[in-house]
A and B are shown apart, each in its own frame.
Chain A
Amino acid sequence: MVDIVLDRVTKRFGSQTAVDALETTFGSGQVTCLLGPSGCGKTTLMRMIAGLEVPTAGRILIGGRDVAGLPPRQRDVGMVFQYPVMYPTLSVAENIEEPLRHDRSVSGGERAKRVDEMLDVLDMRDLRDALIDELNTGLRQKVAVGRAVARHAEVVLFDEPTTNIEVDAKLTLIRAIKAVTTRLRQTIVYVTHDQTEAMTLADSIALMEQGRIVQQDAPRALYAAPRTRFAGWFLGNPGMNYLGTEVRDGAVHSPMLAAPIPLPGGRNGQVVLGVRPEWITVGAGRAEGEVTDCVIGIGGRRLMTVRLGREVVRIKCSAAEAVAPGGWVRFSVPPDRVVLFDDKGEAIAALTQGVPA
């Protein structure tokens, strides 16, 4: 097993900087999801790890070996693309087998074994001899996953593999990816802009913004303690509530808080209070706002939009707690479940200790 170390990796296209002096390590045997909005450089970064793009500057170390200048075939990587890339004249089994044929260290028997194993894991035994033409996009992408993984490459890269797959097939595909990755413990980099996918698959999420990794953490830690306002906003559906709040006498005062939060360093002025919609407790508290909207979300949970003074707060609550639009609701948030941000949008102190649901 190998880790991937990125050392001041930079990629510029003309005057545009896609990846900006990025420094991080993707853990050995881990699934790291590169998550971020479109155009943040995540695909470029992954293509550089694959060897399909040459970095403008910096080093890429796979298992300690600098591969930045090497072509893809001299790196031990497998890759799944955004569109299922197939060898259309070959059958399903042949597609998975083809890269193995050119690996001298794999014997004929071993090859057959790996193909069978892969078809089992992907649950595609019946389609063994099917031609690619006969498969839909979802199944084709599964074959592509099998082909990338069966070679037992040390690193496997996924470039938004579910983007072009229909919703039904998406879940099957993600389940297949999960099954394959937990089984082989290869070092995996998975690019996505879908946070649910990242949460499901990742051991670690690297959140990217404008060519930089702004935070890299385990999914729950990233969710509970975003280090920037961007991270809090990008993760979660909807993202964090942000409320401008006054600091007086070395403590943060807000009607939402049962007690003021003391701020170390004794700064005064304004801070931003970040609260996830589901961290808010409904029914009691000093804050009272008018409900302007209430919609049903996943699992029958309600998402209320509440006007609190000049601010708007989104609250997730149960059906019983929900209040119809036009009504008033009282709510509060425990002081240990708040994240405070300074005026630059960076977290001052993550006061969250618990892990959200």
Chain B
Amino acid sequence: MAAVTDPIAAAPRRRADSHRGLVFILLAPVLAFFVVFNTIPLLWLLGLSFHNFSLTSGMPPEFVGFQNYYQLWLGRNNFWGDLSRTFTFVAVGVTIQTLLGVGLGLLFWGSRTMPGRRIALTLLFAPMVLTPVATGTFFRFIYDPNFGVLNQMIQGLGLPMVDFLGSPATAYWAVLAVDCWMWTPFMILMTLAALGSVPKAELEAAEIDRLPFRKRFTLVILHHGKFILMLGILLRVIDSFKTLDLIIPMTKGGPGQQTRLVAVELNKQAFESFNMGFSSAYAVYLLLVSIAMTSVFIFVLNLRRRRGS
């Protein structure tokens, strides 16, 4: 009879079914969290971006179609200026952090027998674990023209006082320098992790083959460590693109618009001016940019891995 199932054949299927049920039960909290705090707000944001809606006007949201997007595209609130300023911030900042991080990482790695190395490493990672708001506040004081420690030193050398955060010529670079101070340790950490993934025998062989440092770096270290390094750069790019909490306590985006990065302007539009519709469209643009950048990175990573295997 067809109804009589072979118990041996049926057993694994039944187990697979109950297994699948269990998988859903275990996943449910995460899925619920994701939907409530991620998917719904995202859809909400998307909806809002097609409306004209100000929290202060007391008026209900008014559907305006693509008007918010169009206005941004035309450069309302100097959108393109903010974006290019942010791109420069990301490109210059991450480049400096990567170069410094790799360089210092190599030095640390080569100094395994140096006394006090552990303490030095711990101190070096301190900036990374500080709250950016605290870091920004510290540096506002350090940069302060009147009682800042940096100007004390400059004047001690007999040079004129510099208003680092107040002057349009220096503000942007002063903020960028703090970002580098804060995040270079992260790239050191990634470099040390990348170096840890290099097989010892290959380094020894390169040493015995008398390869110069440049070759040892490109042929051996980068070959094994590039994945971790790329991951570090990717994380830095995404994070750097969103820089906000470091800038607010230092310059609030000023002087003028000198340090106004996209996240700063978005924050101002949404939570100071309460232009919810406009800022939503702004956020959607930034999301698209982020997705584009991430895709490029992931594509490059896959490309290398595919070629490597």
Looking at chain B's contact residues, the main secondary structure is helix
Chain A nearest Cβ from B123, distance in angstroms: 30
A39-78 interface mask toward B, CB cutoff 8 Å, 1 = contact, 0 = none? 0000000000011100000000000000000011100011
A90 to chain B: closest residue by CB: B219
A94 to chain B: closest residue by CB: B219
A328-356 interface mask toward B, CB cutoff 8 Å, 1 = contact, 0 = none? 00000000000000000000000000000
Question: Which residues, 95 to 125 on A, are CB-close (under 8 Å) to B?
Answer: 98-99, 102-103
- Our pick among B201, B210, B308, B309 for the contact of A85 (Cβ within 8 Å) is B201
A87 near B220 with CB under 8 A, answer: yes
A99 near B211 with CB under 8 A, answer: yes
When chains A and B are docked, how far (Å) is the Cα of A79 from the Cα of B202? 11
When chains A and B are docked, how far (Å) is the Cα of A82 from the Cα of B220? 18
Beyond A85-B202, A87-B220, A89-B223, is A50–B212 a contact (Cβ under 8 Å)?
no
Q: Which of B202, B204, B210, B212 has the most CB of A within 10 A?
A: B210
B208 near A78 with CB under 8 A, answer: yes
- Our pick among A71, A73, A88, A151 for the contact of B223 (Cβ within 8 Å) is A88
- Our pick among A71, A82, A89 for the contact of B207 (Cβ within 8 Å) is A71
Q: Does A81 contact B (CB under 8 A)?
A: yes
B156-189 interface mask toward A, CB cutoff 8 Å, 1 = contact, 0 = none? 0000000000000000000000000000000000
A79 near B211 with CB under 8 A, answer: no
B209 near A147 with CB under 8 A, answer: yes
- Interface residue total, chain A, C-beta cutoff 8 A: 25
Q: Does A233 contact B (CB under 8 A)?
A: no
Q: Does B235 contact A (CB under 8 A)?
A: no
B198-225 interface mask toward A, CB cutoff 8 Å, 1 = contact, 0 = none? 0101101111111110010001100100
A83 near B209 with CB under 8 A, answer: no
Chain B nearest Cβ from A267, distance in angstroms: 51
Chain B contact residues (Cβ within 8 angstroms of A): what range? Answer: 10 to 19
A81 near B210 with CB under 8 A, answer: no
Q: Which residues of A contact B215 (CB under 8 A)?
A: 98, 102
B209 near A151 with CB under 8 A, answer: yes
Q: Which residues of B contact A85 (CB under 8 A)?
A: 199, 201-202, 204-205
Q: Which residues of B contact A82 (CB under 8 A)?
A: 201
Q: Which residues of B contact A50 (CB under 8 A)?
A: 204, 208
Looking at chain A's contact residues, the main secondary structure is loop
When chains A and B are docked, how far (Å) is the Cα of A98 from the Cα of B214? 13
Q: Which residues of B contact A73 (CB under 8 A)?
A: 207-208, 210
A10-54 interface mask toward B, CB cutoff 8 Å, 1 = contact, 0 = none? 000000000000000000000000000000000000000011100
Question: Which residues, 12 to 34 on B, are CB-close (under 8 Å) to A?
Answer: none
A87 near B219 with CB under 8 A, answer: yes
Beyond A81-B201, A81-B204, A81-B205, is A89–B211 a contact (Cβ under 8 Å)?
no
Q: Which residues of A contact B201 (CB under 8 A)?
A: 81-83, 85
A133-172 interface mask toward B, CB cutoff 8 Å, 1 = contact, 0 = none? 1000000000010010001000000000000000000000
B309 to chain A: closest residue by CB: A133
Beyond A87-B219, A87-B220, A88-B223, is A52–B211 a contact (Cβ under 8 Å)?
no
Q: Which residues of B contact A87 (CB under 8 A)?
A: 206, 219-220, 223
When chains A and B are docked, how far (Å) is the Cα of A133 from the Cα of B306? 12
Q: Which residues of A contact B219 (CB under 8 A)?
A: 87, 89-90, 98
Known: A50-B204, A52-B207, A98-B215. 17 other contacts (CB 8 A): A51-B208, A72-B207, A72-B208, A72-B210, A73-B207, A73-B210, A77-B208, A78-B208, A79-B205, A81-B201, A85-B205, A87-B206, A87-B220, A90-B219, A102-B209, A102-B212, A133-B309
Q: Which 5 A-B pairs have CB atoms at the shortest separation, nearest pair first?
A: A99-B209, A85-B205, A87-B219, A72-B208, A73-B210
Query: Which residues of B come within 8 Å of A, CB atoms?
Result: 199, 201-202, 204-212, 215, 219-220, 223, 308-309
